[in-house]
């Protein structure tokens, strides 16, 4: 039962706008409070499952609890949040558009369209950075400019999404968002002629992280002033 309680509380804490140290402190506080309530129910003669459910009900719905908790933790100005939501939507759309229009420039120039459905090259695309030797051999100004257009929009996504979600301090939460966003971009390529590769997925996540670190730096500087 201790593992079940721990898993439940970690789920609550993991989605808050707190850094790792602050999440640990909050978890310890919630754990102490929850275990005290749980023990009280056990002492009345309740079984463990019912005691757990009653103690959980005292906290309330997990989503509502997270929302109320985040309202009082490192709040983002609502106007700034709405602006961030607007720009997040724009840059996410630009990432989708450029991934279809320019996302397969490198592979197309090297392998040509007849290889796109070849199992060998599909499997090769699953190996991170397997195309790196080819990239070094075939790199030119045209490919650099095309990939710049493809990649440049991921940095603003990393900047605005944490603000839009009010999760600036939670790196793990944002990393999951960035990964699933990049994964959706790559999966969507199966519905077109572009090639989905783990290399592009990792690069896109990395660029989102750069944007996130810029946001962290900016807010850190603003808080000091």
As a whole number of angstroms, the distance between CA 33 and CA 77 comes to 31
Among 54, 71, 88, residue at a domain's last position: 71
Residue 225 CA to its chain's centroid (Å): 29
* Mean pLDDT of the region 32-42: 81
One domain for residues 20 and 106: no
Banded pLDDT at 39 (limits 50, 70, 90): confident
One domain for residues 29 and 113: no
One domain for residues 87 and 46: no
Cα-Cα-Cα-Cα dihedral sign, residues 23, 87, 104, 185: positive
Query: For residue 111, what are the domain limits?
Result: 78-224
One domain for residues 64 and 85: no
One domain for residues 110 and 46: no
One domain for residues 144 and 203: yes
Among 22, 44, 71, residue at a domain's last position: 71
Q: Yes or no: say if 100 and 189 are a contact pair by the CB < 8 Å rule.
A: yes
How much of the chain, in percent, has pLDDT values that exceed 70?
67
One domain for residues 52 and 136: no
One domain for residues 179 and 110: yes
Among 71, 86, 106, residue at a domain's last position: 71
Which of the given ranges, 6-15, 142-151, 168-177, has the highest pLDDT on average? 168-177
One domain for residues 115 and 187: yes
Give the pLDDT confidence score for residue 90 in this predicted structure: 93
One domain for residues 36 and 60: yes
As a whole number of angstroms, the distance between CA 220 and CA 144 comes to 33
Of residues 140 and 114, more confidence is placed in 140
One domain for residues 134 and 171: yes
Long-range pairs, 178-184, Cβ under 8 A, ≥24: 178/204, 178/205, 178/208, 178/209, 178/212, 179/205, 181/92, 181/95, 181/157, 181/208, 182/154, 182/208
Question: How many independent structural domains does the chain possess?
Answer: 2
One domain for residues 58 and 122: no
């Amino acid at each position: 039962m201790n593992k079940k309680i721990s898993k439940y509380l970690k789920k609550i804490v993991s989605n808050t706008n707190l850094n790792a140290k602050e999440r640990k402190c909050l978890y310890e506080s919630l754990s102490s409070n929850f275990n005290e309530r749980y023990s009280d129910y056990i002492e009345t003669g309740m079984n463990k499952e019912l005691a757990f459910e009653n103690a959980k009900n005292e906290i309330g719905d997990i989503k509502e609890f997270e929302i109320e908790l985040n309202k009082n933790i490192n709040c983002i100005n609502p106007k700034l949040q709405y602006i961030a939501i607007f720009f997040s939507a724009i840059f996410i759309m630009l990432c989708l558009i450029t991934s279809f229009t320019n996302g397969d420039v490198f592979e197309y120039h090297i392998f040509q369209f007849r290889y796109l459905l070849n199992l060998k090259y599909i499997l090769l695309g699953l190996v991170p950075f397997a195309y790196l030797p080819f990239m070094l051999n075939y790199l030119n100004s045209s490919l650099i400019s095309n990939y710049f257009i493809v990649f440049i929009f991921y940095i603003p996504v990393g900047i605005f999404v944490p603000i839009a979600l009010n999760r600036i301090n939670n790196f793990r939460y944002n990393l999951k968002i960035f990964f699933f966003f990049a994964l959706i971009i790559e999966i969507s390529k199966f519905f077109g002629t572009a090639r989905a590769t783990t290399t592009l997925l990792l690069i896109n996540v990395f660029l989102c992280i750069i944007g996130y670190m810029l946001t962290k730096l900016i807010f850190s500087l603003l808080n000091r002033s």
